[in-house]
Structure 1
């Protein structure tokens, strides 16, 4: 058996793609548009192990102009986890992009953020936790993750 990918349904393909590429540094590995089925698939991999992918599925808006499908809050999915070289730098970068740090890395080890489609992302510090650092050490949780 070989693990292939995790699939996430998204409403805003551009914003979520930007989150994974510009925010987390993943690379788009491939993309395919399926006009007959009215959907687009975009795959992303981490530079250190691109074979384990995230698939974003974007279902095109209904042709009749009705509202797109509601996927809910995505809380039932759980989360995706990424190991990062510097959790503080990663969180600062995401914050500069307008991403809310829902669970700040107060412990220098773990943080949670959410994608534009509300998918929870766990960030874990590579190796040992970093020493506590402001503003993260005293930053409260925000919202849910």
Structure 2
């Protein structure tokens, strides 16, 4: 940072939440509370604009963000409800994975170790017994050995994918929800180098872990987040232990293909909305963004009626919300 740039400290930033739209908030909140042990820690109603926001978190005494104000946390799930959708028989979100017209357009909402922190097999059995649906039913379509390589996709009430992964801990007799984590959110990207540069240079994230996968589609993954020294780098185990991580996935060769363009979740048909970072000083952070070459805005602080949020666009057009961490500086009357 040059001497004449605004003095905002990106090392204090947090990957606060992931937002998805839902049809029926009562159904969705109950689903995450009853099945995964998440808690509703905040609700923001905007009757004039006819929408409501529900913020869910893992909030046991063992959670990293236990007891903190909602803007000072990582690993939150924001459910956005537009009034009336629960009574609209034609309303259906696009989960980014199953719509044939928009197949493979954006990533899965992932709770990679939030579901089977200590015993993936038992956790999936209990979820299934409670009526949770799976993309592949673990007891019928595949076997699980409670190892880190195992991954199962559960489905929430709107059909969003929830990846269930095994925490790097010894298996115990029964799942222990107080240890579960909303570890990371996955987004598909066209050019991994361009995307990692954006999140590192503009938003101050570090590459925590990077790996390659081979299978139906060869791909490379980069896990991005803040405070790498607290959890360590270059280890999938460290990713699964923490919250507030962004997984960027690129399929080989897409950076050279002009026709590759991922659905950002906000163009029609809608579903996923954005990821959000909370910052030390919202005004200074946005002033710094203004001074960075190549920055793209979806909404500046001065745009529209909501003066407490801004939105950037990443290289693939995904929205990145920027808000004030109210534990560091009071600004908004939430």
**Change over 3 Å in CA distance of 1:49–1:20 after alignment to 2:** farther
Give distance in 1, aligned partners of 2:170 and 2:94.
Answer: 34
**Change over 3 Å in CA distance of 1:128–1:41 after alignment to 2:** same
Pick from 72, 96, 111 the counterpart of residue 81 of structure 1.
Answer: 111
3-state secondary structure, aligned to 1:123: strand
Give distance in 1, aligned partners of 2:163 and 2:88.
Answer: 34
Calculate the TM-score normalised by the size of structure 2: 0.35
List aligned pairs for 1:1-145, cutoff 5 A.
1-47=13-59, 48-50=63-65, 51-52=73-74, 53-61=76-84, 70-75=92-97, 76-83=106-113, 84-103=117-136, 104=138, 106-109=144-147, 110-127=151-168
Q: Structure 1 stretch 52-61 or stretch 100-109: which is displaced more?
A: 100-109
Q: Unaligned regions of 5+ residues in structure 1, if any? A: 131-145
Calculate the TM-score normalised by the size of structure 1: 0.75
Residues 55, 78 of structure 2: 8 Å contact kept = yes
Figure out how many residues of one structure are paired with residues of the other and give that number. Answer: 128
3-state secondary structure, aligned to 1:79: coil
Residues 107, 129 of structure 1: 8 Å contact kept = no
More strand by share: 1
Q: Deviations over 1:88-140 (max 9, x none)?
A: 2321221122112323262323221010111111111111586xxxxxxxxxx
Q: Deviations over 1:22-49 (max 9, x none)?
A: 1111111111221111111110111313
**Change over 3 Å in CA distance of 1:32–1:67 after alignment to 2:** same
Q: Structure 1 stretch 86-95 or stretch 74-83: which is displaced more?
A: 74-83
**Change over 3 Å in CA distance of 1:123–1:66 after alignment to 2:** closer
Residues 10, 57 of structure 1: 8 Å contact kept = yes
Give distance in 2, aligned partners of 1:111 and 1:129.
Answer: 19
Bigger Rg over Cα: 2
Give distance in 2, aligned partners of 1:22 and 1:127.
Answer: 24
**Change over 3 Å in CA distance of 1:101–1:108 after alignment to 2:** farther
**Change over 3 Å in CA distance of 1:69–1:120 after alignment to 2:** same
**Change over 3 Å in CA distance of 1:60–1:106 after alignment to 2:** same
Q: Please report how far the alpha carbon of residue 67 of structure 1 lies from its aligned counterpart in structure 2 after TM superposition.
A: 6.2
